[in-house]
Structure 1
Amino acid sequence: MRKVVFLFNLLIFNLFCQAQQNDFIIAENYFRNNEYEKAIQLYKKLYNQSPYNTTYLQKLITSYQETEQYITAENLLTQKLKEKPNLSYLYVILGYNFERQEKTKDANENYQKAITSINKKANYGSLIAGLFKNYSKLDLAIEAFNKTMEINPKANYGFQLAQIYGEKGNFEQMFESYINLVDKNENYLNNVKRYAGRYLTDDKENENNILFKKALLRKSISNPKDIWNDLLSWLFIRQKQYNKALIQNKALLARDPDNLDKINSLGKIALENKDYETAKECFHLVIEKTNYPKDKFKAINNNLKIAVATSQPDIDERFNTIFKEYGINSKTLFTQIEYANYLTFTKNNPKKAAVILENALTFTSSNLMKATIKLKVGDVFVFMGKFNKGLIYFSQVQTLFKNHYIGQEARFKVAQASYFKNDFTWAKAQLKVLKGSATQLIANDAADLFLTISDNEPKDSTDTGLKEYAKADLLTYQNKTDEAITILNNLITNYKGQPIEDEALFKQAQLFIKKKQYDQAILNYDKIITLDPKGIYVDDAYYNLAEVYNYELNNSEKAKEYYQKIIFDHPASIYLVEARKKYRKLRGDDV
């Protein structure tokens, strides 16, 4: 019997809760649509049913205020405070009710009552501060949070304080709060990086960057900790000052050998951003100090990549030295792959590269490692124009790793090789799959190639120049830049007025930049803009013109002119954010 009664009561309670929830949803809808009189009726009912629910009370009071029923709101709050004097947060709401009536003195008196009450009722401190923040009484919110932390040292409202200082535009105090938060608890480090990072740029002269750095340096002097080196390194990496980041990481390494991982990561970032000197120093440290052979050989390999990228004269000798010292075996697999890459794309010796890679396959039982090598073998065969052989290797990887990133990469290579051999239908089929399901980088490349084929695919046996364009792409892949430029030149001459013309002009401009023939590149970009001011390559042309003038020709006035074109004439461009930032920097604004 008791069980039946319990279940019946439970059913009644659930029905009551459901009815309350429905009333609240309807009331909220009225509230959002500014139908405050209707909202009042429901909030009043909800509040009477649950008099301790602060949400119902606040929404009811706000509805009274929006309908200028200030006396009713005041009476309700006053009555509530008489019944429950401990509910001191209500003084904030009452104070705001007076402020709405421009009764500043009464408002301030109640605000101060709320602040003073924290001394006795510290557990309401954060609620009081939150209400002040909601009412845009930011200084009072700061006072309430600080008083709460003063009374209860275990309380930590650093994030809330930092956000309020940010809203006030007091970035110095905001950064101080974030850093104090880390000082109290280093577990907040990643969150602080995320939130503070919203206010920082890659410009070391930016005012916020300077303020953040000063706050860090002050704290590192007053309370030295490894965490400040970490944050400084993070800031320098954001500012692309990789050499300064390395100094901080070296300081950490002297105290913590495990920091070698961060130096290795910094080396990779510096390498990607072509700061070869810093990258080389990072990898030298890893080679010298690591206890893990895998990390050592990866660092050796990365330094060889730098040697290739910077066209050092003794590259062959350096590869051979590594092989003599460590052997041609499983330890040096990545070095063998890099050597094959160098032989193919720099020395134009793909046959030797193919032999090296076929031999490398015998040194590993890892399917993933074999797949990596097979992709490179496929690249070598494509370089030689042996597309079918390349496709065999790519397809093997694609089949074995269907849902893996390396399988997606293999599928793109299948599409690219098919495109090179003029099998445009099969290429499009592969690219269509990749556009929606691949990693972002592969998806972007797939989308670009898909559009190139779709926009220029031959129709009704009419030659559109796509085959010649694919040949120029292949020559570019083979590092035969001059030959690719010649093919594109013929395309531009023979297919005037056709969709492929602006694509050919754009690709040729990129090759001119590679050869440092900037005047020729500028002529091509100007032709693209003249051809069709609303064409799909126009914003690309404007942005690339701005970049050439900014970074290659040091002509800031011309660079500003073209960045401005993106900002005002192409607001939907993917370059908008970067163009605006660089334009403001050239103009001397605080970004």
Structure 2
Amino acid sequence: MRIFLFLIFSMAMCTQTWAQNDALAQQYYEKGEYKKAIVAFEKLYKSAPRKINYFIGMINSYQQLEDFETAEKLLLAEIENPTLKRLNPILYVETGFNYDLKRDSIIANSYYEKAVAYTQQKISASYSIGRAFEKKSLLDYALRVYKYAMEENPNYNFLNNIARIYGEKGDIEKMFSSYLDLIKNREEQKGYSQRIISQFLRNDPNNENNTLFRKLLLKRNQEEPNLLWNELLSWLFIQQKQYKRAFIQEKAIYMNGDYSLQRIFELANLSIEDGDDETAREILNYIIDNSTQDMTIIRASQNLLQLDIDAVADGNYDEIQQRFEALLAEYGRNFRTILLQRDYANFLAFQKNDPEAGIAYLKEATELKLTLRQAAVVKLALGDILVYQEQFNQALIYFSQVQKALKNDVKGQEARFRVARTSYYKGDFAWAETQLKVLKSSVSQLIANDALQLKLIISDNSLEDSTQTALKKYAKADLLSYQKKETEAIAKLEEILQNHKGEKIEDEALFMQAKLYEKRDEFDKARLNYKKIIEFYKEDILADDAYFAMAQLYLNHFDDPEKAKQYFEEIIFNHQDSIHYVEAQKAYRRLRGDAVN
């Protein structure tokens, strides 16, 4: 038993030493210490002659030192080594490449041909030899190896390698075709292939590569109809933000095999997020007309109602109220329609300006048989309306009930944030800060970010002003904004800017005021505020927010993409820790004409 344990221990020690020596050889090579690398690789190869990588590492080190003669002697000796039971055909590629380095292309090609001939005799070697050619950027030889193998044996699939090679060669059409062949033969490779293809596409539908890819898909769909091509066309149109054209493809998929409306629902959500309300309405109406599932119809109707609420310009909501009431009459007031009931109560409170009706409606909903999460939806909405009415203590009761019932749930964390925000509105900053400290580690990144932002506002503006006078005014302005009283909120913020100059709260007041100006389409005033933050508070926490807001203004309202690029650039190079960093990067690349995955 002792001998057995000793042998296991010895083998483990040998394996560890071997791994260390391997890593050391690689380290020498990567650091450019090629003479040391040669010694290390030679030692490893003598210990493990079957591991051709050690021999190749030694050869590559000689080549880096431009000692091609020694590399040649070693390669030829290895090829002719009588003690080798089987020649490793990769040596033909390595030898040919060494002759290429010596500028002897005739002999180099003769060895490459030997490697190709070897695969024709033994197809199982195709992958290793093809990869050896790829590593040396001998792409045409690699293509020959892979194509021959697939022609001779249909079980071999080198489409991924072939597509990648065409991409490296700049033959985009053949690359696209190869990836389409790969997706057709192995649909599980679709996601991977789309990621690679997207690197060659742009957001511009008229881009040469986009046009080429679209034509290839349309041609395949004509010659060999397959829903796969419709899916890829839809994907392409979504990349180009052509949601109406994507919808045409999604309808074809739905009518010819995919009887779920989930894909179409996701497209509606994308359209809404991107501001294409016209297409979103068309999609949602299609879902309502074609679905046989009550829950799907209810969800689509909710989304459609919300779009139409946002579009009302004259303040006349009677038609929308009738639609709410018709839906609730048809599907009833029960657990299935709880989100619709919440939306209706919010509509009564915030659009119809009848918070009492909204509160009464939600209190009735609390009497229904609901799950804890459904009850939480109702109580959170009820609390929100009570905050709107400045009935803070009543709101806190409902928020606290949800927080207690769903302690470890995201809904519970949402409730805790509402407790903090309500306490902040009523001037209880210490309790608000206590709640926000807990939420900084929330599983929801959105809640965590909101909590951190509010905590910083409270803590930064409590240190130098023990009376918290400016902070109380700011919280009041924030509440007025929540109550949609923009004029009063702007005035309250102006009071801070006039009477609390030089205090920490100034940049916060400028930023909130700018956002309110944007809501009122007063973009010049908003720009001036952001400019002041950038000029006078560039070292403070709102600087990156101001840069991002400025970029969006120039992009969406002043039609000056070049100016927008400058502000996105500022975030990318000087504010890498900003929450806007990823979006700024994407927007910057889009403006520059890069592909955006």
Same-fold call, TM cutoff 0.5: yes
Match of 2:180 in 1: 179
Give 2:297's aligned amino acid: K
> 1:37 aligned to 35, 57, 62, which one?
35
CA shift, 1:432, in A, is: 2.8
Q: For residues 421 and 169 of structure 1, what CA distance do their matches in structure 2 show?
A: 64
Q: Which runs of 5+ in 1 are unaligned?
A: none
Paired position in structure 2 for 1:326: 331
Which of 545, 560, 563 does residue 562 from structure 2 map onto?
560
Distance 1:118 1:449, change over 3 A: same
- For residues 569 and 281 of structure 1, the distance between their equivalents in structure 2, rounded to whole angstroms, comes to 37
User: For residues 509 and 99 of structure 2, what CA distance do their matches in structure 1 show?
Assistant: 70
Task: Decide whether aligned partners of structure 1 residues 16 and 590 sit closer, same or farther in structure 2, where only a CA change above 3 A counts.
Answer: closer
- Offset, 1:222: 2.8
> What is the rounded CA distance, in whole Å, between the counterparts of 1:167 and 1:188 in structure 2?
20
Report the CA distance between 1:228 and its aligned residue: 0.9
The AA in structure 2 aligned to 1:255 is N
Does the 8 Å contact 1:458/1:466 carry over to 2? no
Are the counterparts in 2 of residues 132 and 141 from structure 1 also a CA contact under 8 Å?
yes
Q: Deviation at 1:203?
A: 3.5
> Once structures 1 and 2 are overlaid, which stretch shifts more, 105-114 or 486-495?
105-114
Q: 1:480 to 1:587 in 2, by over 3 A?
A: same
Deviation at 1:487, TM superposition (A): 1.0
- Bigger shift: 140-149 or 384-393? 140-149
1:197-236 counterparts in 2 under 5 A? Answer: 197-236=198-237
Q: Does 1:385 align with 2:406?
A: no
* CA spacing shift, 1:92–1:576, aligned 2, 3 Å: same
Residue 185 of structure 1: how far off its partner (Å): 2.0
CA distances 1:289-308 after superposition (whole Å, capped 9, x unpaired): 33332222222222222221
In structure 2, the partner of 1:147 is: 148
Q: Give runs of aligned pairs for residues 157-556 of structure 1, distance below 5 A.
A: 157-311=158-312, 313=317, 314-459=319-464, 461=466, 463=468, 465-532=470-537, 534-554=539-559, 556=560
Aligned counterparts of 1:481 and 1:120: Cα–Cα separation in 2: 80
Label 1:403 to 1:359 Cα distance change in 2 as closer, same or farther (>3 A): same
Change in 2 beyond 3 A, CA 1:326/1:20: closer
- Alpha-carbon distance between aligned partners in 2 of 1:247 and 1:472, rounded to the nearest angstrom: 47
Q: 1:200 to 1:79 in 2, by over 3 A?
A: same
* C-alpha RMSD of the superposition: 2.8
How far has the Cα of 1:250 moved from its partner? 0.5
Kindly report which structure 2 residues correspond to 1:118-129, keeping only aligned pairs within 5 A, or say none.
118-129=119-130
Query: Over residues 161-208 of structure 1, what are the superposed CA-to-partner deviations in whole Å (9 max), with x where a residue is unaligned?
Result: 333333444433332222121122222222222332344444434444
Task: Write the letter of the residue equivalent to 1:76.
Answer: L
Distance 1:410 1:173, change over 3 A: farther
TM-score normalized with structure 2 length: 0.90
**Counterpart AA for 2:122:** K
Give the superposition deviation at 1:403: 2.8
Counterparts in 2 of 1:112 and 1:452: CA distance versus 1, 3 Å: farther
Structure 1 residue 473: Cα displacement? 1.1
Structure 1 window deviating more from structure 2 (283-292 vs 371-380): it is: 283-292
* C-alpha distance in 2 between matches for 1:69 and 1:177: 40
| Alpha-carbon distance, 1:566 to partner | 4.1
Q: Give me the TM-score of the superposition, normalised by structure 1.
A: 0.90
Equivalent residue, structure 1, for 2:59: 61
**Partners of 1:464 and 1:495 within 8 A in 2:** no
1:218 CA displacement: 2.7
- Contact 2:339/2:377 (CA < 8 Å) preserved in 1? no
Go from structure 1 to structure 2 and tell me whether the alpha carbon gap of 1:398 and 1:209 turns closer, same or farther (over 3 Å shift): farther
The whole-number CA distance in structure 2 between the counterparts of 1:404 and 1:238 is 34
Alignment of 1:2-151 (within 5 A): 12-82=10-80, 83=84, 86-151=87-152
**Maintained 8 Å contact 2:547/2:570:** no
- For the residues of structure 2 that align with 1:315 and 1:529, how far apart are their CA atoms? 43
Contact 1:564 1:580 in 2 (8 A): no
TM superposition shift of 1:550: 3.2
Q: Measured at CA, do residues 368 and 211 of structure 1 come closer, stay the same or move farther in structure 2, by a change above 3 Å? A: same
- The amino acid that maps onto 1:571 is F
Instruction: Supply the distance in 2 between the matched residues of 1:427 and 1:75 (Cα, whole angstroms).
Output: 77
Moved more, 542-551 or 217-226: 542-551
How many pairs does the alignment contain? 586
Q: Which moved more, 1:50-59 or 1:76-85?
A: 76-85
1:43-91 CA-partner distances (Å, limit 9, x unpaired): 2222122222122222222223233443333233223323356522211
Shift of 1:458: 4.6
Offset of residue 284 of structure 1: 2.5
Q: Deviations over 1:528-576 (max 9, x none)?
A: 334345554445434433433432243x3xx423422442686234556
1:70 to 1:224, Cα distance in 2 relative to 1, 3 A: same
Name the SS of the counterpart of 1:504 in structure 2: helix
Amino acid at match of 1:309: D
Q: Percent identity?
A: 41
Structure 2 residue runs of 5 or longer lacking an equivalent are none
Give the aligned residue type for 1:75. Answer: K
User: 1:10, CA displacement in angstroms?
Assistant: 5.2
Question: Relative contact order (C-alpha < 8 Å, sep 6+): which is higher?
Answer: 2
What do residues 390-418 of structure 1 show as CA deviations (whole Å, max 9, x unaligned)? 22222222233233222222222222222
